[in-house]
Structure 1
């Protein structure tokens, strides 16, 4: 009795699929690079694009897990790094670059950056304190000038590291007149602290010191954790000759 042609083709296709899966398991066992397993239809539990795997590798490296080359390839090294991260964060140890792993990595990296920023600020405060003690012991004229300079009514050209120069006019009450955004300033422990609000998601804080009557230097940080060095020069007053 002849079997229907459709049934025979279906069996051959099923057998071929089984062979491919078996070959895939053998290949995985010897440590070769494996493609990211696809998710079930309509889900995002397992599937990850090459760009997402590359981002996972970057986050793992930033957190101290060796994920191998940042190439978007889901290989044994990346899988082991994911498993180590899952193990350290009380997650099911699966090793797949799924959505849960991506979200937990992003949160862990954000927390690490916040901790790094807090530590750097504490170290900067400690260094400033040591510098003030040294300046006082040496009778530094710049330190004396710093405490005597009145900022309200002065105009400064702020040099941004990306090449943008912004003119800031310090006013009484802690406000600053600037071309765009909302600016304010205050004094903290001999330092000048400038706050910037773009009105959207970007906010920055600039901490600096006066280095004489016409120069100011410091560092800044925005809401995304980016840090940079900045400087500002005082512009001539309207009544200066």
Structure 2
């Protein structure tokens, strides 16, 4: 099944994507298109290939077969270094547990993608603190990840994912480690920021309440697209 929402510039396009872990197939020929500015939720049972698809789309994994394009760039033919730089500059990735570096303050964590691109430290830190303020944890900029709550750490991780102003945010179970209130707060924040920035969002979730935030829900089952439909308006 291929979906190409009409009337919009294409942000993400995957064709015939397949990936195996040894003898276990995770993806078996997935076609998926996401328009610029669209929010798509990828859902499905455990083991259906959701996270693998997200990692392939974001360039974390290179698929065994198929092609992934972000805009006009073919991600699947890039070197590992080029894909890493793509994720530091044009694509944001948000993981379930944030994956902040414990030894760095929240501000240092958020500034890291900018510093890796050789931005001046003062400029990088100023931008990082501005993003932490924007996501509501500016007063915690000098705290370590272990000194803040899970919801606050996830907000900092979101700031890190967005600090380079990416065109696409890939979020893998972004509320899975949070309670329902913190999860709703995080999704409200992601939705608001995506609208403000005109950003495309592809998120993986097993929670129907989180999927309802999206414009469209894509259901994976056994490594294939089982359903693709507009989500119910909240």
TM-score (norm 2): 0.25
Q: Which has the higher contact order (CA 8 A, sep 6+)?
A: 2
Higher helix content, 1 or 2 = 1
Q: Name the larger-Rg structure.
A: 1
